[in-house]
Structure 1
């Protein structure tokens, strides 16, 4: 008997390709596991760095190279933290000092960011505005905050106004410079495409230029908030209680180094938290950063 011929597909029909194997649940779990391991590793490294810093600090304090009034032990700062959080300092608990400073930073930065974006759009889009306002923004950006704090106190008194104005003037120039440079970097093809689609001239800054410049603007906002945070101690040197800067200033007058270090740590940790929130906002508003 002869062997049966192999069955072939009818003429004109091709054998459909076999579908690719879907990703298995174990593979996706493996990817999530590696990501989780990476996060735990990063957290462990940060905790290790903090532990090393505290250990070196404790070793220097125990060596008595300097008196305790200069370098207190970490335990002394911790006790001061508990005392300030529960009993308060200068009549206010630590949380109220922090919230007062954060409120001033928030108000000053909101005004500064709004003004910086507006000035940056003008400077970046209009050559006449660039020639007129560019040197003024650079002049303010190079001034240290204490240089005009006394003038603000003369103009606005010793209440909240000079502090808000100082933080506004500290946060406005970084946003204005970042916005202006980002606007000047917007490709002309984007504007031409919007015009060809019928976009009116007045809508170009808000519908085309601002979204295109948004990544650099958010970077400028992060820089501005950092500058404002470094300025809050100077802003609260005059009638700054309640406030972290005012607390640090009062403690410096009486050589309470543990309170000064506590204020520095609180400012640094809250600054890290605010920067983390700004990075999260960056990922939400600019999801294409680093992918194009």
Structure 2
């Protein structure tokens, strides 16, 4: 019952998580954004070629600083316009810009008095096709952004995951599965339970800092960190152990809408904390490992007690 209560609470938190509001960008704004991005990309390419073809007297430091500034401007423009990495965003922008150029050229042709009226009918049809193509590209971009925003929202805040947890005892007492008395009358632990690996259920709350992690090239909002709680189901007991700690999670890479896939905000998470086991079995009072039984006792006594352990988790949340 305790496990199901934990699961239901986690699911309720997820379902009550605020929904994402997203307003679509108009085709005109999308085309304008695309032209800016293509222009910035051309500037980056031009400066890159300057550096590549630089002679011995060229100020390379100045050119490299210029390239860095242009690249940062391009990255920011793509980030503001699309839910895509810079390279993919530039490709999308070029497609939109090409459509805009075709439409502009067709419009110029339509107002040219030297073009026969019969030819203008064909040009109008071509313009209609080009406008439809631009709308489709804009629709794909908006859908990609919507899915990205939805994934970001689902990743942040409350989440639920299934984890592989490793618990290492934190106290001095041995956690015992079985023990015997050897022929010399000494207590021997046949099997301990000091380190265990189990499947656990976890629920977490992620804050998503607007910070880039350069080591793994993780973009802001694609990682989060926050507290978590964990429950380990048992065989003899419904709840074998409970724990809490701190977790860091990395969201799966966003998938563009044209791939017909949904980015649900799934993530891989690493956690560290403390596990409380109220059902730990240890040697009874007065009985010590590798020592004779106390007094006239002939059998080993075991008892259930509460023990703490260090908890390491690797979970997948969805």
**TM-score computed with the length of structure 2 as normaliser:** 0.29
Q: Which has the higher helix share?
A: 1
Larger gyration radius, structure 1 or structure 2: 2
Larger relative contact order (Cα-Cα within 8 Å, sequence gap ≥ 6): 1
